[in-house]
Amino acid sequence: MRYPETKTTDKILGHPLNAWYAAAWDHEVTTGGIFSRTVANRPLALYRTADGRPVALADACWHRLAPLSMGKRVGDDEVQCPYHGLRFNSAGRCTSMPAQKTVNPSAMVPSFPVVERHRFLWVWPGDPTLADPDTVPDMHQMSSPDWAGDGLTIPAKANYQLILDNLMDLTHEEFVHSTSIGQEELSESDFDVTHDERTVTVTRWMLDIEPPPFWLKNLRDRFPGFEGRVDRWQIIRFEAPSTIRIDVGVAKAGTGAPEGDRSQGVNGYVMNTITPETDRTSHYFWAFMRNYRLDSQLITTQTRDGVSKVFAEDERMLVAQQEAIDANPGHEFYSLNIDAGGMWVRRIVERMLRAEQLVAAGS
């Protein structure tokens, strides 16, 4: 699918609130402490109850807005404000006011729905009555025994939509990642785009090409001493509001990978879920999962470190792009045919925002 060059004025939309966002890796939030994280401009205090259930409260005490994350865990499911000692339970209700015997019944802080899934804690910052755990984005490879891998978090100083743009169009690899995963066939190859109300998929195949360094190393991990040409694929799947799984890999050329037989290749999933922190900063959670040599921690560590270097190149570009946008607030973006997937992503996000605005206007 090809699009003509078009001008777009909505280069930076807001972020939907009625959606699940990854707030932290599951191991970052413990029963003994309080973890601070801002999601969609909402400072949160994250912790676990005594039985391990995750909790997300607004990180501001009802009394004088002191950050609850500076306080401490008390009892089975409570936190204590560091300023005057008020205690709040996991529902956000104040249970104790040390300076007086009577607890003001209005003393509450917002409590947000939380789901633990796919090695992440997901928070719903919008209307809690709409929070359906079944709509948590699909990242099942993260916790499946059929896949192995690891990842990190990038504190990106860029709007989350810029990161989505970056991931939906991988032709930039030819120029940004020329020494690892980039090659000229990326820009030369055709691609297909499909979409529905919540997802966008961009599919690209590059047949009978030389493997770039990153993929040659991965092939040799499975097929020692491999030499020759490969068929390479990138299947990018966006799921609203900000999760992108990229099915990637290479197989020995002509062995049937385009028809579904990947047995003569190596397959990975680049897992990405981007959480808006503010309008200009994001929490970028990523991992690389593979379905071969599952018992090798060495390959897991080498691959994570290699992908981390690749993403550091993306981060530098995204930060520079955000700085340029801030310095040129009146500039309008243009979209090329390679931006087709990203354009559909923006339409989905815009539709979600419009729906929220209509509800707010009618309330």
- Cα-based torsion angle of the residue sequence 334, 316, 15, 165 in order, rounded to the nearest 10 degrees: 40
Residue 267 to residue 62: CA distance in whole angstroms: 50
- Say whether pLDDT at 89 is over 80: yes
| Per-residue pLDDT at 181 exceeds 90 | no
**What is the predicted pLDDT for the residue at 277?**
98
**What one-letter code names the amino acid at 168?**
M
Residue 108: Cβ within 10 Å count: 16
For residue 10, is pLDDT > 60? Answer: no
Please state whether beta strands 54-58 and 72-74 pair in parallel, antiparallel, or not at all (unpaired): unpaired
Strand ordering across the sheet containing 42-48: 35-39, 42-48, 54-58, 111-112
Q: Residue 185's pLDDT is what?
A: 62
Residue 335 binned pLDDT confidence (cut-offs 50, 70, 90):
confident
Rounded to whole angstroms, the Cα distance separating 293 from 123 reads: 33
Query: Could you tell me which residue, 2 or 174, shows the higher pLDDT?
Result: 174
Predicted local distance difference test score (pLDDT) of residue 221: 92
3-state class (DSSP) for residue 257 = helix
> What secondary structure letter does DSSP report for 357?
H
Residues 244, 236: contact at Cβ < 8 Å?
A: yes
Contacts of 12 (CB under 8 A, 6+ apart): 159, 161, 279, 325
| CB 310 within 8 Å of CB 176 | no
Encoding tokens for residue 196?
Answer: 């529905």
Task: Report pLDDT for 52.
Answer: 97
- pLDDT class for 3, splitting at 50, 70, 90? very low
In sequence order, the 6+-apart residues with CB closer than 8 A to the CB of 100 are none
**C-alpha 120, offset from chain centre:** 10
Task: Identify the band that residue 311 occupies on the pLDDT scale cut at 50, 70 and 90.
Answer: confident
| Stretch 42-48: mean pLDDT | 98
DSSP states of 65-77 as a string? ---GGGSEEETTT
Cβ pair 184, 178 in contact under 8 A: no
66, amino acid identity: A
Q: Does 310 score more than 90 pLDDT?
A: no
Positive or negative, the Cα torsion across 144, 167, 239, 43? positive
Whole-number pLDDT of residue 48: 98
Q: Which tokens belong to 281?
A: 């900063």
Q: Higher confidence at residue 187 or residue 96?
A: 96
Looking at the DSSP assignment, which residues form a beta bridge with residue 58? 44
R_g of the chain computed on alpha carbons: 23
pLDDT of residue 177: 62
- Cα angle value 363/242/327 (rounded, 5°): 90
Q: Cα 37 from chain centroid?
A: 15
- Report the C-alpha gap between 191 and 361 in whole angstroms: 40
* Mean pLDDT for the chain overall: 91
Which residues face 48 on adjacent strands? 54
E strand intervals along the chain: 6-8, 21-25, 35-39, 42-48, 54-58, 72-74, 78-80, 87-88, 94-96, 111-112, 114-117, 120-123, 148-156, 191-195, 199-209, 230-239, 243-252, 265-276, 282-290, 333-335
Helix/strand/coil for 210: coil
User: Which residues neighbour 80 within 8 Å (Cβ) at sequence distance 6 or greater?
Assistant: 71, 72, 73, 74, 86, 87
Mean pLDDT across 119-126: 98
Neighbouring residues of 305: CB distance < 8 A, sequence distance ≥ 6: none
The answer to whether residues 134 and 156 touch, using CB atoms and an 8 Å cutoff, is no
Sign of torsion over alpha carbons 216, 155, 169, 18:
positive
Is residue 248 within 8 Å of residue 233, measured between CB atoms?
A: yes
